[in-house]
């Protein structure tokens, strides 16, 4: 049978797609910028006839009605990463947070031990229309989508002609999807542009210049999601032959490629390719990535596997943090026990860089928060603080006041190095705390 015939046979209406969800089922939705908006809204319209439908979402982009308090009997929300939309609901204890790194679900693939997103009753995705061979693209967010198609009991795709195509593993054949829905009017995928405050931007400029001193010609880089970390990429323009193996592609990476800085010629894995599993880029950069064979989106179980990452010699991981304590523990996702975002793939890449021959990991953060009233370098985390990176794997820490090289140092030496890069107004107090603790 021709794929065109398969496509026609699988076409259903948006209302029919939403009607296939039953009470008590677990429903997975495509994440972040590629949420299936029409199906999601149609499912929300059924709230009075449903009970205890578990919605699995990550980095939610739109305040769908299933988040509404009056619909709580119909929909139970579980988030794998908190966004500006879902964070207040988590703080009100109206949604649950699922604890995972990006790579970890593959380590517990057996039923009952895998992440909830690997055991969905229904999976709603957004795809591009099929090409001449019947293959659709997962667009700018691949992540686990290929595995979701294999493992979910029912897969329904919302076809959006505005979804981009890339190389790599970023495709699925129409024959592998159970049902297809066409958008009545194409809706542009959501766009995420990092927002950086004036305070952070001033610090980020200095941090970027310092990070550049730790990156060598020929290195393969990863830049994590975060206002300061994503900003640092623009300060690597004087480097040569950088490569990319990352969780996400950023606009700074595309800028470096266009400048001839990123070539990938010295990469030991996938040379000359920009490899990632998703992307968070500016609207003007979509034309560059669309149908560009240099850009390869691969399964997150591959891109974020530390053993795969380590196959790149001189892998450099650059990631954001909220705070660092004297021993080098890093929190990048929470304030005390209160989740703010999620660890995502930061630990995956720190471990990968640690195992990479010549690899380095760089943690970046402004020295202060809350308008300069709080130091992000602290003597000790408060009780209940969620730790994103264990101190044993933390390498370089960079603020606008310098670089602290922590590898190989004792607790006291680490504290001294971190105090040296703290904000001057807090140094005397921090030094006193270090002396009391370690001398």
Residues annotated as catalytic are 247
Tell how far CA 177 is from the center of its chain: 25
Give the three-state DSSP class for 361. Answer: strand
Dist CA 325 CA 321 (whole Å): 11
Query: What length does the chain have?
Result: 439
Tell how far CA 192 is from the center of its chain: 12
Bridge partners of residue 249, in order along the sequence: 279
Cα separations in angstroms, 19 against 138, 151, 248, 303? 24, 21, 34, 35
Is the Cα dihedral 319, 324, 329, 332 positive or negative? negative
Task: Residue 175: name the closest of 138, 123, 136 by CA.
Answer: 136
79: left (phi over 0), alpha (psi -120 to 50) or beta: beta
Q: What are the φ and ψ backbone dihedral angles of 169, each rounded to 5 degrees?
A: -95, 15
Our separate counts of H helices and E strands in the chain read 14, 27
Q: Is residue 422 within 8 Å of 367, Cβ to Cβ?
A: yes
Token pair 């769908």 in the structure block, residue: 64
Q: Is residue 234 within 8 Å of 208, Cβ to Cβ?
A: yes
Q: Is residue 257 within 8 Å of 236, Cβ to Cβ?
A: no
Q: Is residue 76 within 8 Å of 48, Cβ to Cβ?
A: no
> Which residues have C-beta within 8 Å of that of residue 321, sequence separation ≥ 6?
330, 331, 332, 363, 364, 365, 376, 388, 389, 397
Q: What angle do CA 274, 279, 280 make, to 5 degrees?
A: 135
Q: What angle do CA 23, 18, 146 make, to 5 degrees?
A: 95
Q: How far is the first Cα of the chain from the last one, in angstroms, to the nearest whole number?
A: 77
| Radius of gyration (C-alpha) of the chain in whole angstroms | 22
């Amino acid at each position: 049978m021709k794929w065109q015939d398969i496509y026609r046979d699988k076409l259903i209406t948006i209302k029919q797609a939403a009607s296939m969800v039953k009470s008590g089922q677990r429903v997975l939705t495509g994440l972040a910028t590629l949420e299936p908006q029409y199906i999601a809204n149609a499912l929300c319209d059924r709230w009075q006839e449903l009970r205890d439908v578990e919605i699995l979402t990550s980095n939610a982009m739109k305040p769908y009605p299933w988040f509404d308090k009056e619909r709580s009997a119909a929909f139970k929300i579980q988030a794998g990463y908190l966004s500006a939309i879902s964070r207040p609901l988590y703080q009100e204890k109206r949604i649950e947070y699922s604890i995972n790194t990006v790579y970890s679900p593959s380590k517990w693939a057996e039923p009952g031990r895998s992440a909830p997103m690997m055991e969905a009753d229904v999976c709603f995705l957004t795809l591009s229309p099929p090409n001449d061979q019947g293959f659709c693209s997962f667009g700018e967010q691949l992540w686990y989508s290929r595995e979701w198609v294999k493992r979910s009991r029912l897969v329904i795709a919302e076809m959006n002609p505005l979804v981009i195509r890339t190389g790599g593993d970023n495709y699925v054949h129409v024959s592998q999807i159970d049902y297809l829905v066409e958008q009545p009017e194409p809706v542009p995928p959501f766009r995420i542009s990092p927002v950086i405050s004036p305070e952070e931007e001033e610090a980020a400029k200095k941090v970027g210049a310092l990070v550049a001193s730790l990156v060598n010609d020929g290195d393969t880089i990863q830049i994590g999601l975060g206002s300061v970390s994503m900003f640092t990429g623009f300060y690597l323009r004087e480097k040569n032959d950088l490569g990319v193996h990352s969780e996400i592609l950023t606009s700074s990476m595309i800028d470096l490629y266009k400048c001839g800085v990123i070539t990938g010629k010295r990469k030991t894995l996938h040379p000359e390719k920009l490899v990632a599993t998703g992307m968070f880029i500016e609207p003007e950069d979509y034309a560059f990535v669309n149908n560009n064979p240099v850009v390869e989106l691969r399964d997150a179980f591959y891109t974020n596997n530390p053993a795969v990452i380590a196959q790149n010699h001189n892998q450099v991981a650059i990631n954001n943090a909220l705070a660092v304590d004297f021993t080098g523990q890093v929190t990048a996702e929470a304030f005390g026990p209160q989740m703010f975002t999620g660890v995502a793939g930061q630990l995956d890449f720190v471990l990968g860089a640690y195992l990479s021959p010549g690899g380095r990991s760089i943690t970046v953060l402004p020295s202060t928060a809350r308008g300069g009233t709080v130091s992000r370098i602290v003597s000790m985390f408060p009780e209940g603080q969620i730790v994103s990176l264990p101190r044993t794997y933390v390498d370089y820490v960079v603020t606008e006041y310098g670089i602290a090289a922590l590898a190989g140092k004792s607790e006291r030496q680490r504290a001294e190095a971190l105090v040296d890069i703290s904000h001057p107004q807090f140094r005397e107090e921090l030094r006193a705390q270090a002396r009391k603790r370690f001398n």
